[in-house]
Amino acid sequence: MSETKDLIPSDDTYSDSNEPDHVKGSATQLTFENSTIDRAIFLKWDFSPIPPGAKIISAICYLYVASVGGTTIIAGLTERCDADWNEGELTYNNRPNVTGSSIHSWAFPEIGWYNCGGDFTDIVQNWINKSVNNYGVRIWQEAAFSYGYCRSKEYASNKPYLRVVYTLSGAPFLLNFI
């Protein structure tokens, strides 16, 4: 039998080349842009609600896009961060680098909820197993001259979340001694 948990990010923020030393961790919107300004979203989750040894069936990231604009359909990439960070300290100048290939590609053509098949299953399993460090992800804008705003966990509604479906490796059992 599978279990489902919707996890709100423990940390979410964005970096902004226009304000390279400004912390954005309390912002109600997460901004991504690729133009003369470079902005990228950073998300990280606490997996303590998922029992150790869980087998991840699926892990899908959902973002609510509140605004889009520019000259192209917004296409973003998700990449794993290579160093730890927190939303109360991350800036453009101290943002972590990324490692490996893109986990997922996004398309944000208009306002609304998106997951674009936002499949994070493999990386979440690795984070749960602790085979790689959970430093979260960066979502950045691949197409030039476009931008978007997503709701953050600080917003009153439409918060980003990761829907994790999992099973436990062994069925629970009872020992009955007479």
What CATH number is given for 3-164 in this structure? 2.60.120
Domains of the chain, by residue range, sit at 3-164
CA distance 134 to 147: 27
Q: Quote the pLDDT of residue 73.
A: 56
CA distance 52 to 140: 31
DSSP reduced 3-state for 39: strand
Report how far apart, in Å, the C-alpha atoms of 28 and of each of 34, 72, 100, 126, 157 are: 20, 25, 29, 29, 10
DSSP H helices in 41-145: 121-129
Q: Quote the pLDDT of residue 147.
A: 75
Residuewise pLDDT in 10s, the chain (178 residues): 999 999 999 999 999 999 999 999 999 999 887 777 888 999 999 999 999 899 999 999 999 988 877 655 566 788 999 999 999 999 999 999 998 888 877 777 778 888 866 689 999 999 999 999 999 999 887 656 667 789 999 999 999 999 999 999 765 544 455 5
Q: Quote the pLDDT of residue 69.
A: 73
Residue with tokens 């009872």: 174
